[in-house]
Every structure is written in C-alpha cells, then in structure tokens.
Chains A and B, each alone.
Chain A
C-alpha cells in the first residue's frame, strides 16, 4: 500500500503535525515501508487466535475507590505553557 500525499495530509492533520515538501517525501517513503512490513505480517495464519491487546498476562488489576493525595494546585499548573492563577490557558477554541 502506498501512502500518498492526500493520506499523509489527513494523518498529519489528525496528529496536528506539519511537514514541508522535503519532510513529506521522506515521511511518505518511511510510512509506506512500515505499512508494507505490517502487510507482510498478514501472511501469517491467525485463524482461531484471539487478538492480543496487552503484552502482560495480568487480569483485573483494579483499584479500590479511594482518594489519595494528589498534586496541589500550583504543582498541577507548573508545567503549563500558559496559565493564570486558576486555569490552564489555551488558544481560543471556537466551535
């Protein structure tokens, strides 16, 4: 399967990434190679094999419903690129 410019643009948009001409060329090539390799895996017969969703064998790693100490307000906001005393700030989202 070939990743063409239209598909790359769509994926780039969904990932909020931007590529210039040169990078786009490289990306399309790399991604096509990756997809081709995954296509190769499809040759393996997986009839009757349950889909693998996790690499761990653990089941039911649940927690009890308890509140534990978490970040205080200042610490929570610490790494935000933009903030005020109360809120995280992001560029205006228009619906």
Chain B
C-alpha cells in the first residue's frame, strides 16, 4: 500500500466545533453547564415554544472574535444569522441558527509544527452557531431518549481550507486549536467530553492533479489520535477503490475506534437540502472599531508567541519552550518564577522537572501546585548564591516545602540544617586535614593523576557533613594542592 500511496495526494479539510465557556446559552439565558442532570437547563426558547424569540449572547460573539484574532482572520463588521433547516429530534426549532452568508471571521490561518517544520494551515472561516441536544440510544430500548441541556450551547465552527496533506498535519492543527482555545479561555478543549469535536473531509487525487477527488466526511472521532487513524484508514480505502477502477462515493462515514475503520452511515435522508435563509428574528449585528479594540485589548499572549519569547528573550532551548507553553497554567507558573529570577534556564529546569512530575503524579494543574512560584525563585537564588546545593534543594527542601508550603525555602533549609558552608575559614581546616592525611594521594595528584581530586572532594564533603559548598571547596582544594 505504501508504494500506492506515493501515487496519490491526500487532501484534508477539518471542521472543528468548540463549545464556548459562556455562563448562559447563545440565544437565551438558560445555563450552559456540562454535567447537569438531564433536561434541567431548559427554558421556553431552548425548547422552541411558540412565540419565543432569540437574543444573542454578547460574550459568545466576543469569544468567536478572539479566536478569529488569534487565527489572523478578517473580522466581519456586519453579521446576519441564517437558518439551517433540517428535522432531527434533538433540534427543537427544526432549524439551527448559524451563520452562512456572513461568518464572523473570514480567511486567516493557524500555524502548526510538524516534522518538516512550521507551516500555516489556511482557514476558510470561523462562524457562530448553536449546539443541538443529545440523543441517547440505549440497547434494548424502543425509544430514543433526548436531553436538551446542550441545545443552544454556543459553538464556534472553525473550517479549514482543504489545505492539509497528512494525518500528522491534521493532528498538529487540532492540538494547536486546542491549545489556543484553552489559552484564550473560550473552550475547555476536552475532546472526550465533546466540548471540542472534529469532522474531517478527506479525498485523494493523483499526484500533480489539479482537480480534487470526491470527498468523504468522517465523523465520530473523539480524540486527536482517532482523527489521525481515521484519515490514515480513509487514505488507503479510497486508493484501493480507485485502483480497482471504482469511484469514491461522496458520503458521511463514521469512525469505529475499535477496529480503526470508517463505515458509511445509513441515512434515511435523501440528499441534504438545508434551505439556508436569513433569520428574521435576530437583529443584524455590527462590530464597531471600539468594540473590536476592546476585545483586542483583552487578548492574552498565545502559546506560539510565548514559546518564541522563551527561545529569543530567555535563551531557552526550543524543547523547553514547547514543554513550558504546552498548557497555559504551566506557562503562567513559569512566567511568575521568571518575574523573580533572571536564571531562566534554572526556572525552566525546576518547572519541567520536579514541579511537572509532581503535577503529573497527582493529576493537578499548576494553579493547584502548593508551592508558590516565589519560593521556587527563592530556591534558585539560594542555589546560585551557593547557600544550598541543587541536589539537596530538589530532594530534601522541595519535599519539605510540599508539606509546608507556607514556609520560605530559606526557613526550610535552616530547619533541615543544609545551608552550605562557603566560608573559607571553616572550610580550610577541613581541606588541610584531608591533604595531611593522604600524602600518597597528593603525590599521585602531583604526578598528573588529576582525577584523584574527586576522592579529596568526597572526603571534604563527608567531613563537612555534606554542608561544604562544592564549588567553593573545589576551588580551595585545587589551589591548596598546587601549593603543597
């Protein structure tokens, strides 16, 4: 199959739906809350009772604009809403209020990182719409059960151009989107719970062709990994069809995570005809310069910009920058340390090492980390000042701080009696004593066996009960050995 793949170009476009973290729904003031008891966040507008009219949630618009600004889109200044008409039991009105003619964000791109480097994936649009309710099909149950809590929850739909060429790029785009919505605080990005969902349009064409092949829309992939698996499977399936002289049928297919294959969905609906038309109930919406500016002013630093700052300004390796900006809470914690020490690499090491492994072990976010960033900064300063060693700090002091997060690092160091001795007056007698005790070793050293200094250092450390500042002790020892 691999050699056959060489003959074809894979063409992918993604449609990513993100549920917005507003308090209320998009067209009414019912609660937008995940995990409520079924059918408890409902009002007459959600249920489409006769005579009810929608009213647009300002916050939902602002969240959509934020994503548009982060994705370099043009923001539509004049917006209307459209009705997408279809019957389904989880859609109370019989139409979805969405944006067809005037998506709030047009064009733009999202930069993704793949093996070959960075590339910009072109967007077609980002528009605002409402989510539908949830249908529950239980085994052995004659009815379908419907929970309308999700009906009317605000969504943005991010639509890429058919600009993606590999499943790796598709995965990179999704993880970038997830990172962005989390940094922007507009969606929790949880794919398992469905707050971030992705459909993939996949087609293949012969290399060098200019005409896209017939596309298939794949649904039901609840993780980035599964989106990639579905695309890989679809790539081979479509090539096989074409190689056998058959053609690809334009259809909606569902992904089965158990066998990694896609299956055509049997729909009773003949060709979908959504009969879009402008919704006359919602007033047109204009985005003024002032409003846009207001939103621009609340934009946080985004992960890519932060990573760039870490490599350029902080001189950190790219790997560090990537790990530190992977989630907003960790980046913020790291930033807070950097506000208090200029040793950025040490700050990075602390966060990527002891801090992150503690968070991972207990499944916490950095906001929940007991020890404040100021204390970590203090430890870095203590280490750099020779007061404590990194080993002692990362093992004993750190452990103690986790138990007593209200103490300062210095207090804990004192309490544990681990403050290093960098005082020449107290170190010299120990050094002299060691040198006196091992005259033969001194001779060996003088005859060029420089490695033996490790043995002297070991003795000094032992006799100082581990409190000698190794750096100072080493300097004094080397100097002394030259003299004798």
Q: Do B144 and A63 have beta carbons less than 8 Å apart?
A: no
- Of A56, A76, A93, which is within 8 A of B283 by CB? A56
Question: Is A38 at the interface (CB under 8 A from chain B)?
Answer: no
Q: Do B43 and A92 have beta carbons less than 8 Å apart?
A: no
Question: Is B31 at the interface (CB under 8 A from chain A)?
Answer: yes
- Near B by CB (< 8 A), chain A positions 54-95 give 54-56, 58-68, 70-73, 76-77, 79, 82, 84, 86-95
- Of B137, B270, B284, which is within 8 A of A59 by CB? B284
Nearest CB in chain A: distance from B125 CB, A: 19
Question: Is A41 at the interface (CB under 8 A from chain B)?
Answer: no
Q: Do B286 and A59 have beta carbons less than 8 Å apart?
A: yes
Question: Is B57 at the interface (CB under 8 A from chain A)?
Answer: yes
Chain A residues with CB below 8 A from B39, complex form: 73, 76-77, 86-88
Question: Is A16 at the interface (CB under 8 A from chain B)?
Answer: yes
- Near A by CB (< 8 A), chain B positions 33-64 give 37-44, 46-47, 49, 55-61
Question: Is B29 at the interface (CB under 8 A from chain A)?
Answer: yes
Question: Is A1 at the interface (CB under 8 A from chain B)?
Answer: no
Q: Do B57 and A73 have beta carbons less than 8 Å apart?
A: no
Nearest CB in chain B: distance from A56 CB, A: 6
In the assembly, what is the distance between CA of A59 and CA of B88, in Å? 31
Q: Do B41 and A70 have beta carbons less than 8 Å apart?
A: yes
Q: Do B59 and A65 have beta carbons less than 8 Å apart?
A: yes
Chain B residues with CB below 8 A from A40, complex form: none
Chain A residues with CB below 8 A from B145, complex form: 84, 86-89
How many chain B residues sit at the interface, stated as a range, is: 35 or more
Chain A residues with CB below 8 A from B265, complex form: 95
Residue of B nearest to A50 (CB): B78
Q: Do A89 and B23 have beta carbons less than 8 Å apart?
A: no
* Segment from B273-281, B317-325, B438-446 that makes contact with A: B273-281
Question: Is A13 at the interface (CB under 8 A from chain B)?
Answer: yes
Q: Do B146 and A90 have beta carbons less than 8 Å apart?
A: yes
Q: Do A60 and B285 have beta carbons less than 8 Å apart?
A: yes
Q: Do B148 and A88 have beta carbons less than 8 Å apart?
A: yes
Chain A residues with CB below 8 A from B147, complex form: 87-88
Q: Do B270 and A62 have beta carbons less than 8 Å apart?
A: no
Residue of A nearest to B275 (CB): A14
Q: Do A87 and B146 have beta carbons less than 8 Å apart?
A: yes
Residue of B nearest to A74 (CB): B39
Nearest CB in chain A: distance from B52 CB, A: 12
Question: Is A48 at the interface (CB under 8 A from chain B)?
Answer: no
In the assembly, what is the distance between CA of A13 and CA of B60, in Å? 34
Chain A residues with CB below 8 A from B278, complex form: 51, 53-54
Question: Is B87 at the interface (CB under 8 A from chain A)?
Answer: yes
Chain B residues with CB below 8 A from A13, complex form: 270
Chain A residues with CB below 8 A from B360, complex form: none
- Of B24, B42, B88, which is within 8 A of A93 by CB? B88
Q: Do B30 and A92 have beta carbons less than 8 Å apart?
A: no
Residue of A nearest to B252 (CB): A95
- Of A65, A77, A82, which is within 8 A of B22 by CB? A65
Chain A residues with CB below 8 A from B58, complex form: 62-65
Chain B residues with CB below 8 A from A54, complex form: 80, 278, 280, 282-284
Question: Is B142 at the interface (CB under 8 A from chain A)?
Answer: yes
- Near A by CB (< 8 A), chain B positions 291-321 give none
Residue of A nearest to B88 (CB): A93
Q: 5 shortest A-B CB distances, which residue pairs?
A: A70-B43, A65-B59, A68-B29, A53-B278, A87-B145
24 residue pairs of the A-B complex, CB under 8 angstroms, read A53-B280, A54-B284, A59-B283, A61-B55, A62-B58, A64-B59, A67-B31, A68-B29, A70-B41, A70-B42, A71-B43, A82-B143, A84-B145, A86-B37, A87-B145, A87-B147, A88-B146, A88-B147, A88-B148, A89-B144, A90-B143, A90-B144, A90-B146, A95-B265
Given pairs A64-B59, A77-B39, 12 additional interface contacts (CB within 8 A)? A14-B85, A53-B278, A53-B279, A59-B286, A61-B56, A62-B56, A65-B57, A71-B44, A76-B40, A76-B42, A79-B49, A89-B146
